[in-house]
Structure 1
Amino acid sequence: MQEELYIEFEKYLLNEMTTQEQSEFENKLQTDDSFSEQFQIYKETTQFLKLKFSKEAGDFKENVHVIGSSHFGKPARRRSKVISLQSKWFAVAAMLVVFMGVWYFNQSGNPNFSDYNKYNEAHFIERSDTNQNLVDAQTFFNAKDYKKASQSFAKIEDLTNPELQLYYAISLIESDDYAKASVLLKNISQGNSVYKEEAIWCSALSSLKQKDYKTCKKQLELISQESEKYNQAQKLLKELD
């Protein structure tokens, strides 16, 4: 149910989950695109409401907390300003919040990183490969566990292969380690491998994730018409205008 979904989001944002619940929640964010998108909309919308309509947003979040506490058997701290809501009204309010969030962020004109961070699966090991760090890096990357993937890549002794460098850089971007990713991508983009323009595309995605739209546009403009990423680059450029 939507009500339970929003209660779960609020518990995570308020750090009220157990260690196991938090781990399961964060794993679902990594593996379930729909769940991740709904969470981002909820989080960004409540932040927007807090800035624009502080009293109403506070009342709404307080009601989520109160209802969540009653559902999960935890005593709730009630305040005089809290509006008592039945479950059906909560569901309506939650739907309105999400609808407002979709409208507001569509109006902002800036594209989201999550709309473009779609990668090909890694297939750089042979069945007979005994390099465990390499095997782990591929396995974690394809499972979208980018933190562990980047840790495995870091343990590989020979990282001169541009393909390995590219997937390592992607893992670093997804783990918010932009500086290390930049070094790897710059090295690839200045070379002559088949991954040159893919590296430029990933550099643009890194800038997009950091909301550095000016740099993102400059990098996108470097992608040639012969590149597989050209159409996506042009689409992203239009959204950035």
Structure 2
Amino acid sequence: MSMYSMEDVARFAEGDMEVGERLKFEEALRGDEGLRSALSRYYDIHSSLKMQLTEDEDDRKLRQTLSNAGNVHFKKEAKLIQMQRYLTWISAVAAVFLVLLIWAPWRNNLYEEYAETEMIAMVERSGGDDDQMAKAVKAFNKEDFSEARAALEPIYKKDPANAMVQYYYAITLVETDDAETARGVLEELYAGTSVYKYDAAFYIALSFLKEENKERARYWLQKIPEDAVNYAKSRELLNKL
């Protein structure tokens, strides 16, 4: 479930990523054929552009001949033709990048792009269910949401007011196609005052987006205020809808 953009691909190719980020990108490459294809295309385009913009021997000979002849008219015309050739190539490259940015073959859809969430290890104890919680965290971060749901469900039922448990349990419900139940949990979380209030609103929007109900997704994204941590991400997604 890759969420890398064309900018990320370019940063990786140009060596602009920090070590940790680069390692994660390389790990994603191993399991994502679309991402590998995007990187390969970037290298191909970059290499071709570099070759086209490098003055070759014929160009140097032509320039020398025209210089010796002192024919200013033909020199300008030759430069104009050469520049037009370069501009045509650059335009073609720009068009390829534009197609890649719009199509983004390494990304499956907007839901998968924005739904990637890592479950943090619980600091607080949840009724002595440490082993069960550890199992849930491990399964969740491996994207085995069925197992994570099974591990979280008894913890949630025992302590339904635990906002952190509510939030991650609801995500497993969305991921296992039980969006209606998930929204009930998330709406209760949104009605409260925990730190997960607006995360809940964002995930309600995602649950509708997964069902291709963009109107309801927009409705919930618009509930996230400017001072919320996920405001920028919510507006980014809203603009893409």
TM-score (norm 1): 0.53
SS for the counterpart of 2:181 is helix
Alignment correspondent of 1:49: none
* C-alpha contact (below 8 Å) 2:126/2:159 kept by paired residues: no
SS for the counterpart of 1:155 is helix
Distance in 2, Cα, partners of 1:196 & 1:151: 24
Structure with bigger gyration radius: 2
Distance 1:222 1:162, change over 3 A: same
Superposed structure 1 runs of 4+ greater than 3 Å apart: 32-39, 101-106, 125-130
Alignment correspondent of 2:170: 169
RMSD over aligned CA atoms reads: 3.2
- 1:38-89 CA-to-partner distances (Å, cap 9, x unmatched) read 49x9xxxxxxxxxxxxxxxxxxxxxxxxxxxxxxxxxxxxxxxxxxxxxxxx
Amino acid at match of 1:165: Q
Distance in 1, Cα, partners of 2:202 & 2:219: 11
Alignment correspondent of 1:196: 197
Distance in 2, Cα, partners of 1:139 & 1:126: 17
Amino acid at match of 1:227: A
* C-alpha contact (below 8 Å) 1:185/1:203 kept by paired residues: yes
Report the alpha carbon displacement of residue 158 of structure 1 after superposing the two structures with TM: 1.8
Report the alpha carbon displacement of residue 237 of structure 1 after superposing the two structures with TM: 1.0
Distance in 1, Cα, partners of 2:28 & 2:215: 27
* C-alpha contact (below 8 Å) 2:121/2:134 kept by paired residues: no
Q: Once the two structures are aligned, what percentage of the paired residues are identical?
A: 29
* C-alpha contact (below 8 Å) 2:173/2:182 kept by paired residues: yes
Distance in 1, Cα, partners of 2:240 & 2:128: 45
Distance in 2, Cα, partners of 1:136 & 1:160: 21
Alignment correspondent of 2:215: 214
- 1:95-123 CA-to-partner distances (Å, cap 9, x unmatched) read xxxxxx979956xxx95211111214322
Alignment correspondent of 1:146: 145
Amino acid at match of 1:117: A
Distance in 1, Cα, partners of 2:126 & 2:178: 31
Amino acid at match of 1:149: A
* C-alpha contact (below 8 Å) 1:122/1:167 kept by paired residues: no
Alignment correspondent of 2:236: 235
When structure 1 is superposed on structure 2, of 215-224 and 154-163 the one drifting more is 154-163
Where do 1:13-32 residues align within 5 Å?
none
Distance in 1, Cα, partners of 2:103 & 2:198: 30
Distance in 2, Cα, partners of 1:37 & 1:201: 29
Q: 1:121 aligns with which of 116, 119, 123?
A: 119
Number of residue pairs matched by the alignment: 148
Gaps of 5+ in 1: 1-31, 42-100
Distance in 1, Cα, partners of 2:171 & 2:235: 21
Distance in 2, Cα, partners of 1:175 & 1:230: 26
